[in-house]
Amino acid sequence: MPARTLKDKVVVIGGASRNLGGLIAREIAPDGARVVVHYNSDSSRDKAEQTVADVKKAGGDAFAHQGDLTKVAEVEQLFDAAVRTFGKVDCMVNTAGMVIKKPMTETSEEEFDKMFAVNTKAAYFMMREAAKRIERDGAIVTIVTSLLAAYTGLYSVYAGSKAPVEHFARALSKELFGRNISVNNIAPGPMDTPFFYPAETDDSVAYHKSSSMNGDLTKIEDIAPYVKFLLTDGWWLNGQTLFINGGYTTR
């Protein structure tokens, strides 16, 4: 079977203005990918436009699109924009997420609803729209968390809102049989990004570091190659959650 490449493939990336999403966009650009750089808020616009510029400079093509992924109409508009601009969708990667860390007894209804909107609802409808738009021979990848395999407190609403995405991937991967579209999740360990630190203390950061094989946090550079692999030569993986975390948790 010939090697799969990203040449002229259209990849929609949720949360691509910075951190992991931005790196994935830049990593697939030299292969000639055409990238839809999603960003959420006006504060991310400049970084999204920089990602677009980086992708084009590296040999790909890209445009930026703003949208609130917790609103189904705006998810649909994101994919509409991809088809309108590039004519199709081949792959989707969703890196968007939100974390809080607190005891269940202190979690408010508002916090619960917001976490499930970002981590569960948005993931579901990003996967739904990708499945509707990709004709065949594509890939759908969602970033979840290695805490799904941890026995720990304080992350009940964070890990709990990521957990359904495992079932979403299994169900959708089965529903797409016959179209050669793989659906998988990647579960990183705690990542060394601005997303991680606000919920943690110095002591908890030290603990998270001590739980990996090299005494450090997961780097976005550790995760991006696995995403690219799932979009290309890793096509035979399907319905799986891959724990890419240096041994932070195992299942």
Instruction: Select from 217, 172, 223, 162 the least CA-distant residue to 192.
Output: 217
Q: What gap in Å lies between CA 115 and CA 165, rounded to an integer? A: 13
Total residues found in the chain within this entry: 251
Asked whether the CA dihedral 62, 65, 71, 73 is positive or negative, the reply is negative
Our answer to whether residue 158 is catalytic in this structure is yes
Which residues, listed in sequence order, are joined to residue 126 by a DSSP beta bridge? none
Fill in the amino acid letter for 111.
Answer: E
Both tokens of 52, joined, read 């677009």
- For residue 135, give every residue at least 6 positions away whose Cβ sits within 8 Å of its Cβ, in sequence order, or none: 88, 179
Q: Active site residue: 39, 155, 158, 248, which one?
A: 158
Q: How many CB atoms lie within 10 A of CB 87?
A: 9
* First-residue to last-residue Cα distance in the chain: 31
Q: Is the Cβ–Cβ distance between 104 and 145 less than 8 Å?
A: no
Catalytic residues: 158
